[in-house]
Chains A and B, each alone.
Chain A
Amino acid sequence: MTELLVQHINQSFGDKEILHDVSLSVKPNEIVSILGVSGIGKTTLFNIIAGINQPKSGNIVFNDEDITGQAGHLGYMLQKDLLLPFRTIMNNVILPDLVKGVKKSAAIARAEPLFEFFGLTGYENKYPHELSGGMKQRAALLRTFLSTKDLTLLDEPFSALDELTKRGIYQWYTDISRQMQNSTLLITHSVDEAITLSDRIYILSGKPATISHEIKITSAKRKQADFELTADFIHYKKEILDILNS
């Protein structure tokens, strides 16, 4: 079973301590958010989890294997869609497999059935600039899913989308990650986004940053389309805002 453990991560640049004893976990099929104000060190933490930076101390354990400082284990999607303009959508989404040395035909065979899931049927041979913003984001997500063994790191993936597109994509994302049995660790600075999407929320705060609170979203109403208009949602939001403002 897919499980990610982030254990006692410390990071500093020069003599400036950025992260202090950050520990968290993502269990199978969970969507977990890390919420924190801009500049707190969320991306620094993600770069460590993704294995592109080495922490000063601490470990990243994925499926009982220590992957600290090793890239290529987890799917990582950055804020921008980062689709390559000179590759078709198909050639973009199979990029992770090609980099790993998988044959092109095998990579295409793996990606093809997923286009329908991601609402991209018929766009396989289009170039990124021919797609709308929401579609590009879905294509980038498909590439991220195809790059991972079941765990996806998302760094504010929806922040560039407009409000209406965003709402649609939240619902779609929770559905798709359930169907694909994928777990997600998500960075966001949007309280609403965290509550709408997550099973659990970690709050990263302080200087140096550390995990100060963990909030479980257990409300029975969270599957409803109008969850964000319910008293439960407001209650969570108040709780989180109180923490962030204190």
Chain B
Amino acid sequence: MAFMKKLTNTSINFLPIVAVLLILAIWQAISFFQIIPEFLLPSPLSVLEVFKSDYSALFSNSLVTLIEAFWGLCFGVLLGVGLALIMDLFHPIYKALYPLLVITQTIPTVAIAPLLILWFGYGILPKVVLVVATTFFPIAVGMLDAFRSTDKDLITLMRTLGANTPKIYFYIKFPDAIDSFFASLKISVSYSLVGAVVSEWVGGFNGLGVYMTRVMKAYAYDKMFAVIFLISILSLALILLVNWIQYLITPWRRTNHAQA
């Protein structure tokens, strides 16, 4: 039994790596034997070559996109947490805003991106606004659910101790919502990059989205693939960063349960 468990545990880390390497190998073979011509599907190695040759452009454009995503995410998180807090505190506001909140998510971001350019120009502002619009929702819903599902008896306990509402949030509701917060944040982090890129796509001077439209018009598909890889690598790195922060601030998750 123990051996089987060990095997499955290691294969969890091992199998996806094998799968990715296998796909890359097949892909490389397809290009090598020219089953699909190189200009349509550049080989993994030529994509890797782009990372070397076009390093500085990729780096500087990533930085622009990351900064937009970062500020958008910051304000998105603030807005999301703030909305959740207000909606949890005041029931009529919850009733009034919740359907509206859901409706905002039915509007495709690609559709509002040109409008934001029209209103806010070609600078960083429309990008940040779009990222806010895509990231606040998972945070707001996650936090609101957590706030509303706090054990009623815990709140009763706090009231018997003479705690007022701010203290109840400080000692109970916020710490209780940490897990939901991070679950939502992981979604919002990947949304933030996609949001920034889509926004740059529609109009802008710098950033991975702008780079993408430029190389697409030049039919430089190797660079196109390089950018796609880069965005997904950045997303993964950010999610890992969030995981690491979560690990640091939730020490109670690291300990084992008592043997019952």
Q: Which of A122-130, A181-189, A233-241 contacts B (4 or more CB under 8 A)?
A: A122-130
Interfacial chain B residues near A85, Cβ < 8 Å:
252
Q: A51-B160, A99-B167 are in contact. Are A80 and B175 (CB under 8 A)?
A: no
Closest CB in chain B relative to A135 CB, distance in Å: 8
B13 within 8 A of A: no
Partner of B257 from the list A86, A95, A130, A147 (CB cut-off 8 Å) is: A130
A52 within 8 A of B: yes
User: Which residue from chain A places its CB closest to the CB of B159 in the assembled complex?
Assistant: A52
Bound Cα distance from A127 to B178, whole angstroms: 16
B163 and A86 form a contact (CB under 8 A) = no
Partner of A84 from the list B154, B167, B251, B255 (CB cut-off 8 Å) is: B154
User: Which residue from chain B places its CB closest to the CB of A72 in the assembled complex?
Assistant: B162
A130 and B258 form a contact (CB under 8 A) = yes
Assign chain A's interface to a size class: 20 to 34
B161 and A82 form a contact (CB under 8 A) = no
Q: A99-B167, A126-B255, A130-B255 are in contact. Are A52 and B160 (CB under 8 A)?
A: yes
Closest CB in chain B relative to A146 CB, distance in Å: 10
B161 and A96 form a contact (CB under 8 A) = yes
A50 within 8 A of B: yes
User: Which residue from chain B places its CB closest to the CB of A85 in the assembled complex?
Assistant: B252
Interfacial chain B residues near A218, Cβ < 8 Å:
none
Number of interface residues of B (CB under 8 A): 25
A82 and B175 form a contact (CB under 8 A) = no
B256 within 8 A of A: yes
Closest CB in chain B relative to A74 CB, distance in Å: 8
B101 within 8 A of A: no
B157 within 8 A of A: yes
Closest CB in chain B relative to A44 CB, distance in Å: 13
Interface residues of B in 162-212 (CB under 8 A from A): 162-163, 167, 171-172, 175-176, 178
A71 within 8 A of B: yes
Partner of B161 from the list A71, A87, A127, A129 (CB cut-off 8 Å) is: A71
B11 within 8 A of A: no
Bound Cα distance from A130 to B256, whole angstroms: 6
Closest CB in chain B relative to A155 CB, distance in Å: 10
Contact with B along A80-92 (1 / 0, CB 8 A): 1010111110000
Contact with A along B222-260 (1 / 0, CB 8 A): 000000000000000000000000000011100111101
Interfacial chain A residues near B154, Cβ < 8 Å:
82, 84
Contact with A along B146-164 (1 / 0, CB 8 A): 0000010110111111110
Partner of A129 from the list B156, B250, B257 (CB cut-off 8 Å) is: B257
B260 and A86 form a contact (CB under 8 A) = no
A202 within 8 A of B: no
Bound Cα distance from A115 to B208, whole angstroms: 58
Interfacial chain B residues near A88, Cβ < 8 Å:
252
B161 and A99 form a contact (CB under 8 A) = yes
A80 and B153 form a contact (CB under 8 A) = yes
Interface residues of A in 108-150 (CB under 8 A from B): 126-127, 129-133, 147
Q: A51-B160, A78-B156 are in contact. Are A95 and B171 (CB under 8 A)?
A: yes
A and B contact pairs by CB, cutoff 8 A, 28 listed: A47-B156, A52-B160, A71-B160, A78-B153, A78-B157, A79-B153, A82-B151, A84-B154, A84-B171, A84-B172, A84-B175, A85-B252, A86-B175, A86-B176, A86-B178, A86-B250, A86-B252, A88-B252, A95-B161, A99-B162, A99-B163, A100-B162, A126-B255, A127-B252, A127-B255, A130-B257, A130-B258, A132-B260
Given contacts A74-B160, A80-B153, 7 further A-B contacts (CB under 8 A): A52-B156, A52-B160, A72-B161, A96-B161, A126-B255, A130-B256, A133-B260
